[in-house]
Amino acid sequence: MTLIKPSKRPTLSNYAADAWSDDSRYEGLNAIVQAIADGADQIEEKIRAATLADIIGTSGEVNVQGEIVQYLDTAASDTFVDVLSKSGRVAAIGSEEIEETVIVGDSLQHNLIVQMDPLDGSSNIDVAVSIGSIFGIWLRGDGEPATDDLLLKRGSQQVAAAYVVYGSSTVMVVAVENSVQGFTLDPEARQFILTHPDLRIPEKCSVYSANEGNFNKLDEATQKAFIELREKYSLRYVGSLVADFHRNLLKGGIFLYPGDPKSPEGKLRLQYEANPLGFIAEQAGGAAYSDKQRIMDIQPEHPHERTPLIIGNKDVVEQTMTIINKG
Ligand code: AHG
Ligand code: MN
Ligand code: MN
């Protein structure tokens, strides 16, 4: 089969040059987004070839979350650190896979900060299920020293966020204030093409996504919220946050990973997962909360900290929050 070239649609580089180049708020963003696209292109090829190349397996290291780092987790982290460092615009990088802050440079040109989950959904790698990469992008303040503290900014200070989902197609979604654009990788030309312009979460919520296997561990109020969702919506749960979020963004839906009495902070990472996706959800008309407050208002105390996450259609997120808080 020959692919029909979507020649009339802009590539990511054309789109970025047009949309952001003359806007001083987005200085350097072009280079960062292009670097992410280049890294995603490399990782996508590795993922597709992983089984054949027999590179799946554990690296033997234990990462800061105490999980076994799979080979592709490390490869993705290294690749994105490399392309982002070479962009010339990044002062510091935080990665879920790296305990310490990666300080890249502190010239005036190094005006951006990136925090990332380089490979999300690792447990789905070796079963050919969708996985992804997630990026939050922050501006470095004028004269702000390039230290570890650069990673402790609130989500509301993000200037942009992006994710890539490696699924039946590879899609990169990029958001800046009030604008969410989706690009699909043309597997022949190896270019991202604008395929999902001006994304908004549909008004109607169709599904809820949660690990129902955790039901018995939840407190009573959260169980009540789950029961309400079961009554109203279909359940869809991939187990890769980025894939669950992408489906819900396109079709309408809510994702929740709450805390429980044993782990009140839940499982997901504030800076690498919740804040970037929270930013994207809000720009698309949705909402993102922890159990208590707007995700993007949380002041991080540690780059690797976790948070409960409820994200998706605004009305349903708010109703669910209310039940979780009142019981
Ligand atoms: P990661 O692979 O980056 O560690 O993230 C895994 C996360 C997330 O993608 C997903 O939503 C969640 O783990 C699934 O957790 P459960 O298996 O507990 O449902
Ligand atoms: Mn993850
Ligand atoms: Mn990860």
141 assigned to some structural domain: yes
Please determine, for residue 68, whether its predicted confidence score (pLDDT) is greater than 50.
Answer: no
Q: How confident is the model at residue 34 (pLDDT cuts 50, 70, 90)?
A: very high
Q: Could you tell me if 189 and 7 are in contact, meaning their C-beta atoms sit under 8 angstroms apart?
A: no
Q: Are residues 184 and 234 in the same domain?
A: no
Q: Are residues 223 and 177 in the same domain?
A: no
CA distance 41 to 161: 18
In ligand 1, the atom with minimum distance to the C-alpha of 117 is 3
Q: Are residues 153 and 15 in the same domain?
A: yes
One-letter amino acid identity for 203? Answer: E
CA distance 295 to 287: 9
The model's pLDDT over 142-191, given as tens digits with 9 standing for 90+, comes to: 889 989 999 999 999 999 999 999 999 999 999 999 999 999 999 999 99
Residues 6+ apart with CB under 8 A from 168: 130
167 lines ligand 1 (CB under 6 A): no
Q: How many separate domains does the chain show?
A: 2
Nearest residue by C-alpha to atom 7 in ligand 1 = 121
Q: Are residues 107 and 149 in the same domain?
A: yes
Q: How confident is the model at residue 320 (pLDDT cuts 50, 70, 90)?
A: very high
Strand 58-62, strand 191-196: pairing: unpaired
Cα-to-centroid distance, 166 and ligand 3 (Å): 13
Please determine, for residue 3, whether its predicted confidence score (pLDDT) is greater than 80.
Answer: no
Tokens 């292109």 locate to 41
Q: How confident is the model at residue 2 (pLDDT cuts 50, 70, 90)?
A: very low
325 lines ligand 1 (CB under 6 A): no
Q: Are residues 153 and 96 in the same domain?
A: yes
In ligand 1, the atom with minimum distance to the C-alpha of 272 is 3
Q: Are residues 65 and 175 in the same domain?
A: yes
202 assigned to some structural domain: no
266 lines ligand 1 (CB under 6 A): no
Nearest residue by C-alpha to atom 3 in ligand 1 = 120
Nearest residue by C-alpha to atom 18 in ligand 1 = 211
Residue of 74, 267, 307, 311 with the most ligand 1 atoms within 8 Å of its CB, for mutation: 267
pTM to 2 decimal places? 0.94
CA distance 176 to 174: 7
Please determine, for residue 241, whether its predicted confidence score (pLDDT) is greater than 80.
Answer: yes
118 lines ligand 1 (CB under 6 A): no
Q: For residue 249, what are the domain limits?
A: 207-326
Nearest residue by C-alpha to atom 6 in ligand 1 = 121
Cα-to-centroid distance, 58 and ligand 2 (Å): 17
105 lines ligand 1 (CB under 6 A): no
What pLDDT, on the 0 to 100 scale, is given for residue 70? 67
CATH of the domain at 62: 3.30.540.10
Nearest residue by C-alpha to atom 15 in ligand 1 = 239
What pLDDT, on the 0 to 100 scale, is given for residue 260? 97
